[in-house]
Each structure stands twice: as structure tokens, then as C-alpha cells.
């Protein structure tokens, strides 16, 4: 079948993204969504892409509110996205918020060089000039001269294992006003529980909570996030924990929102230390959760 030629009206006013797929926000770049493979070349949205888009948009809603709270400045807002991957989140935040601001900068931190290069090429092609992509680990980025001394917002979406802790350390070093964290695949605490050394709880029925390997993993994940929240509170952040999206979209959907208030909670530091001692995590605490 011969393709229909676009009318002069259509050529002058291309269709809005939301008219192609109602889930897409008005003003969203169609070209970007196609490049991220959220939309097909024909402008269609398949089921898998719809789930991904819902997750990213849901997280963006939380971040957007925080961005609006930040004071305006000539330099604009700075945001660092750790474990950026293909930078779905960074590109959508830029497209929906930073693009209209004409100020501010987004930094994508990713260890896989091929993904960093692809993101750089895409940003250049789309004219997203205030995006930088750095081939660094989260830990390395805190010392890198390629990032400014202060970052307003730190995000880490499904940063694996200790990378979330590194993102928190980065946020503290950069005096972040907000941290938005969705932890993933925590294994470090589970390994300590599995070792079972010096555990006062090992002599009680509570040891059943991590007797089976699956329970050890889940228990380790739960304890890790509790420690992270207490650590953030001890370092002067107000912490909220909620769901990112429903369980049908992602099994790793715990969202930790941290807002800097400067009010360090001594009680949080004491509980942090007590939990570490109770679960035999003494060797881990100074490296991960060191409160001055």
C-alpha cells in the first residue's frame, strides 16, 4: 500500500506525543522516546515499554516536586544519576524539566563505556547540551574533577548492592539537598548474616529469620535499607520510604526519599549502632555507616 503523503497542516504541526499514546506526557520528545525504544519507529507503545515508562514517570513525579522546591539560581539545578544505564531517567528528567529551564545540568554516572558513549551521542543528536555522561564507578565519581563540588539532587535507580551506599556517600560529600534511591540486589549484609559469627540473636528463635538462603537474602535486604535510612537521619536528612510502583512492575521497588534539613538525629545514630551490634555487623559499620 502506498504511504499517504502528509498534509501541509500535518507537516507544519507534527502530532504531539500524547496524541500517539495517551500515557505519554504532553510535550515529551517523540524522537527521544523512539531512541530509548519506548516508542517503536511507527510511534507505538508495546506492553513492556508501557511498564518501563510507567515506572520512570512515577519516579519522575517524586523528583519533579523536589526540583520545584529548589531555589532558583543563575547556574541552575545540578542532578547526578548513578548507575544510569541507558539513562532513561536522566533523559526524561531533562526533556520534561531541564529543557524548559535553560539552566542546570544532569550528570549520568555509568561504568559500562558503551552505554556512556551511546548516551553522549544521543544527547548531542537531541541538542541536550546540559547533559554529561561519565564512565566512572559511583565511588570514583565523588573524587572526579568532572563534577562540581555541590550537587543538588542525587538519584540512584536500581544501583546494585553497595552502589546505593556509594551513592549515599556521594550525596553526603556533595552536600546534596535531596537523594532519591531505589536500592537493588543487596548482598553484603546477607553475607554477614550467613557467616553467623558473634550473633547474639543466633541463640534465639529469631535466627530462624535467616536460616534459609532465600530468607537470608530478603532479611539482609531489609536490614540494609533500615540501616541506610537511620544513617541518613543521623547525617541530617528527613527520610520517607514508600513504594515506587506496584509489585507487578518490579520486585525491587522500595523508594527512599531523603531531604536535607541539617538536623542530625542522635537517636538514629544510636539505633544504627545498636542494630549493627545486634546482627553482628561490627566490621561492616565503619566502612558503610560511619557517623562522625
129 and 199 part of one domain: no
Rounded to 5 degrees, what angle do the CA atoms 9, 14, 15 make?
A: 110
280: its cell numbers: 553482628
pTM (two decimals):
0.87
The C-alpha atoms of residue 82 and residue 87 are separated, in whole angstroms, by 9
Whether 140 is in a domain gets the answer: yes
98 and 172 part of one domain: yes
Structural domain count of the chain: 2
Task: Give the mean pLDDT of 241-251.
Answer: 65
272 and 135 part of one domain: no
pLDDT value at residue 105: 97
pLDDT value at residue 10: 44
Q: How confident is the model at residue 19 (pLDDT cuts 50, 70, 90)?
A: low
Lowest-confidence region among 64-68, 119-123, 217-221:
217-221
141 and 221 part of one domain: no
287 and 219 part of one domain: yes
273 and 198 part of one domain: yes
Range of the structural domain that residue 165 is part of: 20-185
180 and 191 part of one domain: no
Which alpha helices (DSSP H) does the chain contain, by range?
8-12, 17-20, 30-35, 47-69, 88-93, 99-101, 113-126, 138-141, 163-173, 188-195, 213-234, 266-278, 285-288
Lowest-confidence region among 23-32, 113-122, 247-256, 257-266:
247-256
pLDDT digits (tens, 9 = 90+) for 74-127: 889 999 999 999 998 999 999 999 999 989 999 999 999 999 999 999 999 999
Q: Which of 165, 185, 205 is the last residue of a domain?
A: 185
Chain center to CA of 204: 37
Task: Give the mean pLDDT of 240-264.
Answer: 80
214: its cell numbers: 532465600
pLDDT exceeds 50 at position 198: no
The C-alpha atoms of residue 161 and residue 228 are separated, in whole angstroms, by 12
122 and 170 part of one domain: yes
Q: Which of 185, 219, 250 is the last residue of a domain?
A: 185
Whether 291 is in a domain gets the answer: yes
Asked if 81 and 108 touch (Cβ cutoff 8 Å), the reply is yes
Whether 167 is in a domain gets the answer: yes
Rg of the Cα atoms in the chain: 21
For residue 245, the surrounding DSSP H or E stretch is none
142 and 202 part of one domain: no
Amino acid at each position: 500500500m502506498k504511504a499517504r503523503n502528509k498534509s501541509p497542516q500535518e507537516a507544519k504541526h507534527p502530532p504531539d506525543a500524547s496524541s500517539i499514546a495517551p500515557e505519554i506526557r504532553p510535550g515529551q520528545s517523540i524522537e527521544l522516546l523512539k531512541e530509548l525504544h519506548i516508542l517503536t519507529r511507527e510511534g507505538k507503545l508495546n506492553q513492556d515499554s508501557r511498564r518501563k515508562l510507567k515506572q520512570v514517570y512515577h519516579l519522575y513525579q517524586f523528583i519533579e516536586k523536589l526540583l520545584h522546591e529548589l531555589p532558583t539560581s543563575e547556574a541552575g539545578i545540578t542532578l547526578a544519576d548513578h548507575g544510569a544505564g541507558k539513562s532513561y531517567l536522566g533523559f526524561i528528567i531533562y526533556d520534561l524539566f531541564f529543557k524548559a529551564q535553560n539552566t542546570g545540568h544532569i550528570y549520568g554516572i555509568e561504568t559500562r563505556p558503551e552505554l556512556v558513549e551511546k548516551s553522549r551521542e544521543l544527547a548531542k543528536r537531541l541538542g541536550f547540551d546540559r547533559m554529561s555522561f561519565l564512565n566512572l564507578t559511583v565511588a570514583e565519581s565523588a573524587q572526579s574533577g568532572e563534577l562540581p563540588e555541590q550537587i543538588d539532587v542525587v538519584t540512584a535507580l536500581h544501583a546494585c548492592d553497595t552502589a546505593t551506599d556509594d551513592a549515599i556517600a556521594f550525596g553526603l560529600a556533595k552536600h546534596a539537598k535531596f537523594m532519591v534511591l531505589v536500592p537493588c540486589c543487596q548482598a553484603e549484609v546477607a553475607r554477614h548474616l550467613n557467616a553467623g559469627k558473634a550473633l547474639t540473636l543466633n541463640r534465639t528463635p529469631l535466627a530462624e529469620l535467616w536460616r534459609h538462603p532465600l530468607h537470608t537474602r530478603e532479611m539482609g535486604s531489609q536490614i540494609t535499607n533500615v540501616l541506610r535510612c537511620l544513617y541518613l537521619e543521623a547525617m541530617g536528612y528527613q527520610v520517607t520510604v514508600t513504594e515506587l510502583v506496584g509489585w507487578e512492575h518490579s520486585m525491587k521497588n522500595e523508594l527512599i526519599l531523603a531531604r536535607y534539613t541539617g538536623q542530625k538525629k542522635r537517636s538514629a545514630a544510636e539505633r544504627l549502632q545498636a542494630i549493627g551490634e545486634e546482627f553482628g555487623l561490627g566490621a561492616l559499620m565503619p566502612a558503610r555507616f560511619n557517623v562522625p
